[in-house]
Amino acid sequence: MAEIILGCRRDLDKRGNPVLSYSDSTYHALVDLGHSVTLLGEGHPYETFKDLSRSFLDRQSLFIDLDTGRNKQGNLSLHCFEERAPVPSAFRSVDAHGAPSLHKRVAKNYDHVFFAVFDKRDLFVKHSSSHWCPNASDAKYFYKDILPEVHESRPFDVGFFGSKHGLDRADILKTVGDRNKWKLDIRQLGKSAKRWPDTAKAMAQCKVLFNHGQKRDGPNQRVIESMLMERPLVTDRDPRDGMSQLFEEGEHFLGYGSESELANNVQWCLREPSLASSMAKRAYRVAYEKHQVKHRVEQILEVCNVG
């Protein structure tokens, strides 16, 4: 068993209730592996390294700093902007496509960097220990039978769900969907305490799930979430992102590069539900066995030599 500090922010909704996130998944993955984990960051009893004693820090095997996005003030909640951590450290970079120069700069203050965005790997090429650590999800929160009563009926043809601004990425879906008279569910679910499981419940009511990457961030978390929901996925095709490194088009998902291709692929899923379901099952097996948060935690610990 190792003692580990996990740097992450605890967000609250408007009622003061904690919002579940992949930080929680990371924490539980570490605990499930038998490690003792101390949470550090906004919303936790310990917010900075100054809140921790020297004797406590001396016992720590690793500090993992999670990129949890921006807080309500618009600031990133990382702990090593200007100086290195007082213990061996790892930076889990998720949003390098959104703030590339910042991620490149702060990465120098960590012993190891684990970046999610394949297209931004050149940012960290000069770091002595940089590793592609793709986005992942958690089958504890995303699973096909979360709404068993609608598992077969699925009232919506296609769905797209966001947790923050960016629903304009579904404009092509709305255009093509309106033209084909598909029943669409396009929503921003926000950061309420019910975001999980509400996102999975929304996905469960769709026959097909849609994705469109942002600044070549693929495979983004929505890809893995959709696969864990065991729904056919239609996503944009981008040769620069990492989709082809992890999944095979036609075997695990359908790609599109135009309105006509999007229309044809969704229509195929709706017209051939048995074949589309088989594709979704293949994608589910890969996502479940290789692309959950616990698998990324295992990668980080192995590289950092923490048993």
Average pLDDT in the 126-142 region?
Answer: 97
Q: List, for residues 42-54, the tens digit of each pLDDT value.
A: 999 999 999 999 9
Average pLDDT in the 99-113 region?
Answer: 95
pLDDT for res 58? 97
Q: Are 128 and 110 in contact (CB under 8 A)?
A: no
Q: List, for residues 148-185, the tens digit of each pLDDT value.
A: 877 667 899 999 998 766 789 999 999 999 999 999 99
Q: Which residue has the higher pLDDT, 298 or 148?
A: 298
Q: Are 137 and 26 in contact (CB under 8 A)?
A: no
Average pLDDT in the 134-153 region?
Answer: 88
- Identify the structural domains of the chain with CATH numbers, from first to last: 3-136+292-303 (3.40.50.2000), 144-290 (3.40.50.2000)
pLDDT for res 165? 65
pLDDT for res 152? 67
Calculate what percentage of the chain has a pLDDT beyond 90: 82
Q: Which residue has the higher pLDDT, 129 or 75?
A: 129
Which two tokens mark 211? Answer: 């994705």
Which two tokens mark 46? Answer: 């310990």
Calculate what percentage of the chain has a pLDDT beyond 70: 99
* Non-local CB neighbours of 247 within 8 Å, separated by 6+ positions: 219, 223, 253, 283, 286
pLDDT for res 72? 79
* Non-local CB neighbours of 229 within 8 Å, separated by 6+ positions: 142, 143, 144, 200, 203, 204, 209
Say how many CA atoms lie within 13 Å of 145 toward its Cβ: 0
Residue 122 — pLDDT band, cuts 50, 70, 90? Answer: very high
* Non-local CB neighbours of 50 within 8 Å, separated by 6+ positions: none
Average pLDDT in the 101-118 region?
Answer: 96
Residue 79 has pLDDT above 90, yes or no: yes
Q: List, for residues 188-197, the tens digit of each pLDDT value.
A: 887 777 888 9
pLDDT for res 154? 86
* Non-local CB neighbours of 128 within 8 Å, separated by 6+ positions: none
CA atoms of 212 and 214, how far apart (whole Å):
7
Residue 283 has pLDDT above 90, yes or no: yes
